[in-house]
């Protein structure tokens, strides 16, 4: 998984004192995690961060009709407000889809909703590209804005 960030010195910093406690309680970082996570965890965004991007080519799920495995590339790009996604929790969150029967389009929407509802960015864009099966590549894009 690759996490990239772009900086802009105009953005204000977030004080740890003003961040919700649930966000600051990073339960997975530095711990051995043996099961998928139901949600991503977030922490205060550093001052100047204007764009964050997480990419993986190992997202696994199953077709709900054919029950064949689907492997996808996923790009999550978001404009942080006060919080950013903690990468280990994202990895553990994505792990929950490995045995799940879900269409690529619904998966992109679910992931975008999770990021928007948990970390509350200004905007999020999820681009999921399912590897070809039967000669067809599926691309699904879900965007959310506040």
Q: What positions carry a catalytic annotation? A: 63, 70
Question: Does residue 133 contact residue 67 with C-beta atoms inside 8 Å?
Answer: no
In this structure, the chain runs to a length of: 146
Report the distance separating Cα 139 and Cα 80, nearest Å. 24
Query: With contact defined as beta carbons under 8 Å apart, do 132 and 141 qualify?
Result: no
| Residue tagged 């696994």 (tokens) | 60
Query: Among candidates 118, 145, 117, 141, which has minimal Cα distance to 130?
Result: 141
Written as six digits, the tokens of 82 are: 């006060």
Residue for token pair 């600051």: 24
Q: How many CB atoms lie within 10 A of CB 127?
A: 18
């Amino acid at each position: 998984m690759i996490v990239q960030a772009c900086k802009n010195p105009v953005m204000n910093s977030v004080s740890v004192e003003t961040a919700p406690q649930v966000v600051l309680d990073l339960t997975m970082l530095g711990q051995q995690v043996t099961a998928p996570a139901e949600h991503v965890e977030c922490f205060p965004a550093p001052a100047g961060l204007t764009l964050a991007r997480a990419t993986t080519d190992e997202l696994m799920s199953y077709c709900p009709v054919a029950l064949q495995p689907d492997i996808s590339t996923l790009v999550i790009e978001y404009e942080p407000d006060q919080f950013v996604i903690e990468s280990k929790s994202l990895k553990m969150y994505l792990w929950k889809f490995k045995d799940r029967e879900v269409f690529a389009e619904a998966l992109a929407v679910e992931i975008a909703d999770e990021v928007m509802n948990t970390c509350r960015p200004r905007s999020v864009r999820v681009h999921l590209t399912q590897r070809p099966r039967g000669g067809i590549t599926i691309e699904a894009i879900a965007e959310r804005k506040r």
